[in-house]
Amino acid sequence: MLEFKSQPQKSFSPVMLWISAGVLVVLLAAVYFFVRFQGSSPQAGSSGIVVEGLLRAGDTNFEYYKTRVKIENVKAVLGISFNNARIATISGTLVNDGDRKLHAVEMHVTLFDMWGKVSKERTAFALRPGKGLTNRPMQPLERRAFTIGVESVEYYWDPKQISYEITGLKFE
Q: Give me the phi and psi of 30, to 5 degrees please.
A: -65, -45
Are the CB atoms for 158 and 78 separated by under 8 Å? no
Q: Specify if 18 maps to a domain.
A: yes
Helix (H, G, I), strand (E, B) or coil at 169: strand
Q: How many domains does the chain have?
A: 2
What pLDDT is recorded for position 43? Answer: 45
Q: Which of 43-52, 79-88, 131-140 has the lowest mean pLDDT?
A: 43-52
User: Do 35 and 49 have their domain in common?
Assistant: no
Q: Are residues 100 and 66 part of one domain?
A: yes
Q: What is the pLDDT of residues 76-134, one digit of tens each?
A: 999 988 888 899 999 999 999 999 999 999 999 999 999 999 999 999 999 987 766 66
Dump pLDDT digits (tens) for 159-168.
999 999 999 9
Per the domain annotation, does 3 fall within a domain? no
Residue 41 backbone dihedrals phi, psi, to 5 degrees: -85, 160
Q: Which residue has the higher pLDDT, 47 or 25?
A: 25
Residue 161 maps to a domain: yes
Domain boundaries, position 23: 13-42
Q: What's the one-letter identity of residue 57?
A: A
Question: What are the two backbone dihedrals, phi and then psi, of residue 13, each rounded to the nearest 5 degrees?
Answer: -80, 150
123 in the same domain as 60: yes
